[in-house]
C-alpha cells in the first residue's frame, strides 16, 4: 500500500508533463493548419503562443511564414533572426531568410544565408538554386547556370533545379536545350505537371502545335481538374480552328470555374464560330448575370471592364441573331453596340448586315459606308455594300465597289461574282458572263456563281445550258434557294408546270423569308390561271415581307386582276407605279385593271403611257388592241 502511495505522485508528474507537451504540440499544429488554409493572422497567434510556452526554431520559422503571408517581411526576418540564436537545425531559417532577401533584391545577403546552409548541408539543392537566382539578379547568367547545374549534381532526384535551369535557357532563347532539361525533370518524375506545361509553352513558341497538344493532354491525364491546362489547350485548339475540341476544353474549364467571365466569353466566341447560335445567346445571358448593364461604373477601371464585357455581349448576341435570321433582334443589340463604339468599323458593318436582312437597304448602305470610312481595308463591308446597291437596282454603284475590291484583290471570286450580277442587272449579258465565268475559274464550286450564270443563260434563251448550270449549282449547294427558284423560272418558261411549281416550293422551303420566292410562284400560278387563292396568299406574303417593292405590288395587283377584284388590283398597281414610274409593264397592268373595272379613260391613259415608254414591250399588242377597242389608239 505504501508503494502505491509513493507511485501516485510519480504518475501525476508524468500525466502533467504529457498534458503540457500535448498542449504545446496543439498550438504549433494549429498554426501549421492555419498556414495551409491561408489564415495567416490566426497562424500568427498560435505560433506566438507556442513561442511563449516553449521557444523553438520551428515555431519562429512558422511565425515568420505567417508574417510573410501578411506581407510583413520585416517582422518575418526578425523572427528568423531569433530562431538562428537557438540551438538546432537552422537550415529552414536560413533558406527562408534568403528567399526574403531575394524578394528585396538583396542578393549578397541572400547568398550569405545560402552559404551557411551549404556549410551545414553541402547537398542542399534549394540553397544552390537560391544562389543561382541571386546571381541572376546581378546579371551574372553564366554563374547562375553553373549553380543550377551544381544543384542537379548534388541532388539529381530533385526537380526544382531542372525547372530553374530550363527556365534560364528559355530566357536565353536556347529552347532546344531547355526541352532537354525539362525532359530530364520528367525522367525523375513523369507526372511533374510544371515540366509538361513548360514544354508545351516551348513547343508553342516553336510552332510545334502537335507536341504542345500532347503535353497539355498529359497534364489533363495526370490531373483532369487542372484548369490552366484546360484553358491553354482550349486556346490552342481555337488557334487551330478546331472549334469543337476547343469548346470541349472550355466547357470542362467552366465546370471547374463556373464563375469565370473569360471562359464564358471564349465559349460565346467559339459557339458563334461553330454556328451554335442558341448557345452563344446562353453564354451571353450568363455573362449579363455576372456583369449587369446597371453595374456601378464610378471606378474608372471597373467601368472600363464593364464596358468591354457589354460590348462583347452586344457584338456576339448581334452576330448570333444574324446567324439565326432574326434580324430585328440582331438590330437591337448591334445598334447598342454602335452607340457604345461609334468609331468601330466592325460594329457599323454588323449593323449594316442587320439592316440588309430587314431589307432596309438604304440604311445598310449608310452603315457599310461608315464602316469603310473607319477602315477602308474592310473588304467584307465593301462587298456587302455592292450587294446592297444591287438590291436597290443601283448597278453602276455596285460595279464601282466591286472594282475597288478587285484593285486590291484581283483574284477575289466574290468580287467577280457580284460584278457579274451587277452587269446582269444592268442588261450587259456579255460582260456579266465573263465576270461570272472568272468567278467560277477562281472557285470551281461557287454555287451562287453557277446559279447567276443559269439566270443569264435563261434570259438569253440558252435553256439547255441554263438547266445544266442550275444543276451544277444545286449539286454544290443543295440548299441554295436562288438556284431552285431560277430552275423554277426555267421550267415555267418551258411549260413544265409540275416541275416549275416543285422548284418554286423548294425555294420557299429553303428560304422562307425571301419575298421573291413567294412572288415568283404567285406570278406563275396567276399567269397559268390555276390555284388563284394560293397565288393570292403567296403574293400577299411577298408584299408583307417587302411592302414597298414595285415588283411584288405588281404581282399582287395582277393576282387580284385575275380573280376579277379590280379595285384591289388598282390599289396595289398604283402602289407599284409609285416606285417604278418608268416601267411599261406596270403601266400596262394598271391599264388592264382600269379596263376591267370599266374605267376606260384611265385605262387608255395608262396603256398609252406603257407604249410611250416602250412600244415593243411584252404585251404591247394587247395594249394596242384594247386602245383600238376603246377608241384611244
pLDDT score recorded for residue 277: 97
Q: Could you tell me which residue, 133 or 294, shows the higher pLDDT?
A: 133
| 152-153-156-159 Cα dihedral, nearest 10 degrees | -10
Residue 633, pLDDT > 90, answer no
Q: What distances in angstroms separate CA 452 from CA 395, 417, 536, 552, one per listed residue?
A: 15, 8, 28, 21
Residue 592, pLDDT > 50, answer yes
Q: Write out pLDDT tens, residues 105-160.
A: 999 999 999 999 999 999 999 999 999 999 999 999 999 999 999 999 999 999 99
Q: Rounded mean pLDDT of 505-517?
A: 96
Q: Rounded mean pLDDT of 299-318?
A: 91
Residue 539, pLDDT > 80, answer yes
Crossing angle (nearest 10°) for helices 261-274 and 243-256: 160
pLDDT score recorded for residue 508: 98
C-alpha 548/C-alpha 545 separation (Å) is 9
Residue 622, pLDDT > 50, answer yes
Residues with Cβ within 8 Å of 179's Cβ and at least 6 positions away in sequence, in order, are 199, 202
pLDDT score recorded for residue 13: 41
Residue 4, pLDDT > 50, answer no
Q: Rounded mean pLDDT of 375-380?
A: 97
C-alpha 442/C-alpha 448 separation (Å) is 13
Residue 533, pLDDT > 80, answer yes
Q: Rounded mean pLDDT of 68-78?
A: 96
pLDDT score recorded for residue 250: 98
pLDDT score recorded for residue 295: 65
C-alpha 575/C-alpha 588 separation (Å) is 14
pLDDT band with cut points at 50, 70 and 90 for residue 296: low
Q: What percent of the chain has pLDDT over 70?
A: 95
pLDDT score recorded for residue 234: 98
Q: Rounded mean pLDDT of 280-304?
A: 84
C-alpha 114/C-alpha 98 separation (Å) is 7
Residue 23, pLDDT > 80, answer no
C-alpha 371/C-alpha 4 separation (Å) is 102
Q: Is the whole-model pTM more than 0.75?
A: yes
C-alpha 569/C-alpha 557 separation (Å) is 4
Q: Rounded mean pLDDT of 575-601?
A: 94
pLDDT score recorded for residue 25: 56
Cell of 562: 385575275
The H or E element that residue 77 is part of is helix 73-84
pLDDT score recorded for residue 297: 63
pLDDT score recorded for residue 293: 74
pLDDT band with cut points at 50, 70 and 90 for residue 614: very high
* DSSP code for 54: S
Q: What is the CA radius of gyration of the chain?
A: 40
User: DSSP of 463-477, one letter per residue?
Assistant: HHHHHHHHHHHHHH-
C-alpha 258/C-alpha 579 separation (Å) is 56
Residues with Cβ within 8 Å of 57's Cβ and at least 6 positions away in sequence, in order, are 83, 86, 88, 89, 90, 92, 93
pLDDT band with cut points at 50, 70 and 90 for residue 631: confident
- At the topology level, CATH places domain 445-513 in 1.25.40
Residue 60, pLDDT > 60, answer yes
Q: Write out pLDDT tens, residues 221-264.
A: 999 999 999 999 999 999 999 999 999 999 999 999 999 999 99
Residue 201, pLDDT > 50, answer yes
Q: In the chain, where are the structural domains located?
A: 445-513
pLDDT band with cut points at 50, 70 and 90 for residue 12: very low
Cell of 153: 549534381
Mean pLDDT, the chain, whole residue set: 93
Q: Write out pLDDT tens, residues 434-491.
A: 999 999 999 999 999 999 999 999 999 999 999 999 999 999 999 999 999 999 999 9
pLDDT score recorded for residue 292: 80
Burial of 135 (0-12, 13-18, 19+ CB in 10 A): buried
Amino acid at each position: 500500500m505504501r508503494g502505491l502511495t509513493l507511485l501516485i505522485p510519480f504518475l501525476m508528474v508524468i500525466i502533467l508533463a504529457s498534458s503540457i507537451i500535448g498542449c504545446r504540440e496543439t498550438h504549433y499544429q494549429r498554426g501549421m493548419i492555419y498556414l495551409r488554409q491561408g489564415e495567416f493572422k490566426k497562424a500568427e497567434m498560435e505560433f506566438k503562443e507556442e513561442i511563449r510556452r516553449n521557444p523553438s526554431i520551428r515555431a519562429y520559422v512558422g511565425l515568420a511564414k505567417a508574417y510573410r503571408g501578411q506581407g510583413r517581411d520585416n517582422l518575418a526576418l526578425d523572427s528568423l533572426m531569433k530562431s538562428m540564436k537557438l540551438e538546432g537545425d537552422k537550415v529552414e531559417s536560413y533558406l527562408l531568410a534568403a528567399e526574403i532577401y531575394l524578394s528585396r533584391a538583396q542578393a549578397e545577403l541572400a547568398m550569405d544565408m545560402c552559404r551557411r546552409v551549404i556549410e551545414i548541408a553541402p547537398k542542399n539543392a534549394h540553397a544552390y538554386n537560391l544562389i543561382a537566382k541571386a546571381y541572376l539578379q546581378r546579371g551574372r547568367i553564366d554563374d547562375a547556370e553553373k549553380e543550377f547545374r551544381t544543384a542537379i549534381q548534388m541532388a539529381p532526384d530533385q526537380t526544382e533545379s531542372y525547372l530553374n535551369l530550363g527556365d534560364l535557357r528559355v530566357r536565353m532563347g536556347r529552347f532546344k536545350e531547355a526541352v532537354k532539361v525539362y525532359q530530364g525533370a520528367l525522367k525523375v518524375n513523369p507526372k511533374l505537371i510544371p515540366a509538361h506545361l513548360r514544354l508545351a509553352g516551348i513547343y508553342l513558341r516553336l510552332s510545334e502545335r502537335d507536341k504542345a497538344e500532347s503535353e497539355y493532354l498529359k497534364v489533363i491525364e495526370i490531373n483532369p481538374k487542372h484548369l490552366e491546362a484546360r484553358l491553354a489547350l482550349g486556346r490552342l485548339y481555337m488557334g487551330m480552328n478546331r472549334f469543337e475540341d476547343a469548346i470541349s476544353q472550355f466547357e470542362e474549364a467552366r465546370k471547374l470555374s463556373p464563375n469565370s467571365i473569360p471562359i464564358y466569353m471564349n465559349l460565346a466566341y467559339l459557339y458563334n464560330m461553330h454556328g451554335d447560335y442558341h448557345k452563344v445567346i446562353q453564354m451571353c445571358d450568363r455573362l449579363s448575370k455576372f456583369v449587369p448593364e446597371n453595374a456601378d461604373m464610378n471606378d474608372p477601371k471597373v467601368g472600363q471592364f464593364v464596358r468591354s464585357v457589354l460590348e462583347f455581349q452586344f457584338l456576339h448576341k448581334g452576330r448570333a441573331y444574324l446567324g439565326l435570321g432574326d434580324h430585328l433582334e440582331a438590330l437591337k443589340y448591334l445598334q447598342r453596340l454602335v452607340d457604345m463604339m461609334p468609331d468601330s468599323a466592325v460594329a457599323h458593318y454588323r449593323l449594316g448586315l442587320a439592316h440588309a436582312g430587314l431589307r432596309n437597304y438604304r440604311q445598310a448602305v449608310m452603315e457599310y459606308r461608315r464602316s469603310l470610312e473607319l477602315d477602308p481595308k474592310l473588304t467584307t463591308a465593301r462587298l456587302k455594300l455592292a450587294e446592297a446597291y444591287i438590291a436597290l437596282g443601283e448597278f453602276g454603284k455596285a460595279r464601282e465597289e466591286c472594282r475597288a475590291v478587285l484593285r486590291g484583290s484581283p483574284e477575289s471570286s466574290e468580287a467577280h461574282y457580284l460584278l457579274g450580277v451587277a452587269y446582269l442587272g444592268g442588261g450587259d449579258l456579255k460582260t456579266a458572263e465573263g465576270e461570272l465565268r472568272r468567278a467560277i475559274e477562281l472557285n470551281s464550286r461557287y454555287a451562287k456563281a453557277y446559279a447567276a450564270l443559269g439566270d443569264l443563260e435563261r434570259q438569253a434563251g440558252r435553256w439547255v445550258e441554263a438547266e445544266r448550270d442550275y444543276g451544277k449549282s444545286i449539286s454544290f449547294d443543295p440548299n441554295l434557294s436562288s438556284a431552285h427558284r431560277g430552275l423554277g423560272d426555267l421550267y415555267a418558261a418551258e411549260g413544265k408546270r409540275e416541275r416549275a411549281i416543285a422548284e418554286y416550293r423548294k425555294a420557299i422551303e429553303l428560304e422562307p423569308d425571301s419575298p421573291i420566292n413567294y412572288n415568283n410562284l404567285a406570278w406563275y400560278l396567276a399567269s397559268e390561271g390555276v390555284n388563284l387563292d394560293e397565288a393570292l396568299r403567296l403574293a400577299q406574303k411577298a408584299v408583307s415581307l417587302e411592302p414597298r417593292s414595285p415588283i411584288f405590288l405588281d404581282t399582287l395587283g395582277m393576282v387580284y386582276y385575275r380573280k376579277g377584284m379590280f379595285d384591289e388590283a388598282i390599289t396595289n398597281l398604283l402602289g407599284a407605279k409609285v416606285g417604278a414610274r418608268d416601267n411599261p409593264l406596270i403601266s400596262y397592268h394598271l391599264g388592264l385593271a382600269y379596263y376591267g373595272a370599266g374605267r376606260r379613260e384611265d385605262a387608255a391613259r395608262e396603256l398609252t403611257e406603257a407604249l410611250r415608254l416602250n412600244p415593243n414591250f411584252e404585251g404591247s399588242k394587247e395594249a394596242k388592241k384594247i386602245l383600238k377597242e376603246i377608241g384611244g389608239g
